Amino acid sequence: MTEKVEGIDEEWSKVKGIFQEAYKKGNERAEWISKRTLKLMDERREYKNRRRESADMAKQHNYLSRMVKSSAKEDK
């Protein structure tokens, strides 16, 4: 059995609200992550886009990935 839709705008605003709430929850950072780890994550993100340009970029990205993991372990 399907419910009768009162108005498309009302339904859309409900769906939109659900997505916005889920997006906010996904973007919250854990309180235990230090600023150092966040800085490493940002730096790693920069290298991620450029890692296919050269082997050095890929090595730097891999190095930063390991650093982020170890720093996050220390924070936790």
Residue-wise pLDDT tens digits, 13-68: 888 888 888 777 656 667 888 999 999 999 999 999 888 899 999 999 999 999 99
Query: pTM of the predicted model, to two decimals?
Result: 0.58
Q: How confident is the model at residue 1 (pLDDT cuts 50, 70, 90)?
A: very low
pLDDT of the residue at 45: 92
pLDDT of the residue at 71: 94
> With b meaning 16 or more CB within 10 Å and e meaning fewer, what string describes 27-50?
eeeeeeeeeebeebbeebeebeee
Q: What is the pLDDT of residues 35-50, one digit of tens each?
A: 999 999 999 999 998 8
